Structure 1
Amino acid sequence: MEDIFIYKDEYGNECTFLREKYYKHVCAVITDFFEEPLPDNEFHKHFRSLLNTLESYDDVYTITTEMPFYWSICIIENRWTNNHLIKSKTNDDYKEWADRYNRENGIVTFIIEGINEETYVFNNDEGGKSIFLRGKYYEFVCKLVSDFFKEVLKYNLINARLINNLNALYDNGKYEDIRKFIDKKPYQWAMSIIENKETAMVLDDKKLEEYNIFLDEFFKANNMTSFVVPQG
């Protein structure tokens, strides 16, 4: 089984399904959470086949629309089942176990999403319309992590939160909706991703000068002058 499956979501954006991690999670639910031996039965083979023959977003949806613990129960019972409890375990028990398992294994999500739409139109504070280039904003933050701060770009809690916040901008186009990106410098998002925690750090004068040069080079390479473009 290949570690990941890359596909297009319903928006046409490239996403990554961490299917090997998902499979290992399901197996761990059986052996660690339910304390059962891992069966080598027909349903287990069927589940592996589903993971190995993914072709599209619909296939990934079919897998992930069910909770991992449900797949685990089906494997244990070797059938599709309506049973959602085994050994008197509860949903709360599973959530507590899964939270601990994911922390120990560095899992934030099994699906790494992209930015749904490149731009976001909003009402600026001057009463007109502006466009926020959210796709380029996220791209720049990632380049700051890897090229400016020379750190490995990780899909951790803060990275997932940034993507979710960018994708969740409301259709009503209020200026307040993007203040978290206008007021917080891109390098602060980058440092938050590196440290996997919120930070309001500021750069010293030398590093700030280097940052501004890096920003200007990014703008020139992408034919931009800002992440916010006022409309006439």
Structure 2
Amino acid sequence: MEDIYAYKDEYDNDCQFLRGKYYKYVSDLITDFFEEPLPDNDFHTRFLDVLNTLESHEDVYYITSEMPFYWAICIIENRGTHHHLIKNKTNEDYSKWHTQYRIANDLVTFIIEGIHEETYIFNDNKGGKSLFLRAKYYEFVCSLVTGFLGKPFENNWINSMLITRLNALPASGQYKNIRQFINKQPYWAISIAENKETTNVLSTEQLKVYTKFLEEFYKNNGISSFVIPQHS
């Protein structure tokens, strides 16, 4: 089974389902949380078959529309079941276990979304409208992590937060909505690399290299800024 399943969602956006992590989570639920041996039974085989034969976003939603502990219980009991939890486990027990597991395994999400809309229209400070190139902005931040900082790119909680914020820009289209992004590309890149909201900034020497790195990105993408004024 390949760890990542890449697919298009219902809006034709690029997404990734971390099915390897999802399967490990369900397996660890069985062995660690429910304290049961991992069964080699028909339902376990069926569950693996579903994970291995994903064909569209609908298949992903079929898997993730149920709580992971549902699949764990089905595998334990070797049947579809309506049981909520078993072995006198409570929701509080599960929440505590999940929190500890998430921290220990750096687990953020099982589905990595892409940028839903390439651009965002907002009212600029000059009384007109401008486009924020949010897809290019995210692409640049990713390139900063790997190409400028030389760090491996990880789908951690900072990356997830950045994607969520870019996708959730409100329809009101106010300049204040994009202040969290404007000229803050290094902040987001360093934060992703460190997997925490950083207080570090670029040194004077790094800034010189960064400026050239940014100019090269602009040149390769035929733009001069991540904000483009719209002329009526």
- TM bucket (normalised to shorter chain) is over 0.9
Q: Is the 8 A contact 2:69 2:85 kept in 1?
A: no
1:223 aligns with 2:222: yes
What residue number does 2:145 align with?
A: 145
Over 3 Å off, 4+ runs? none
Q: What residue number does 1:116 align with?
A: 116
- Does 2:12 match 1:12? yes
Matches within 5 A, 1:98-109: 98-109=98-109
Please report how far the alpha carbon of residue 202 of structure 1 lies from its aligned counterpart in structure 2 after TM superposition.
2.5
CA distance in 2 between counterparts of 1:46 and 1:22 reads 15
Q: Which ranges of structure 2 fall in alignment gaps of 5 or more residues? A: none
CA distance in 2, matches of 1:192, 1:131: 25
TM-score of the pair, normalised by structure 1:
0.95
SS at match of 2:84: coil
Please state whether the residue corresponding to 1:99 is helix, strand or coil: helix
Relative to the length of structure 2, the TM-score reads 0.95
SS of structure 2 residue aligned to 1:7: strand
The amino acid across from 1:42 in the alignment is: D
* Structure 1 match to 2:44: 44
Aligned mates of 1:203, 1:44 — CA distance in 2: 50
Code of the residue aligned with 1:164 in structure 2: it is T
Mapped partners of 1:92, 1:129: distance in 2? 49
Q: Deviations over 1:88-132 (max 9, x none)?
A: 212222122122212222221111211111101111122211100
Structure 1 match to 2:58: 58
The one-letter amino acid of 1:195's match is E
Unaligned runs of 5+ in 1: none
Per-residue CA distance 1:28-86 (angstroms, 9 max, x = gap): 10110011121222211111111111100000000011111111111112221111021
* SS at 1:226 equivalent: coil
**Superposed CA RMSD:** 1.2
Deviations 1:119-166 (A, max 9, x none): 011111222111000000000001111011111111111111101110
Give the structure 1 partner of residue 198 of structure 2.
199
Q: How far does residue 195 in structure 1 lie from its aligned partner after superposition?
A: 0.8
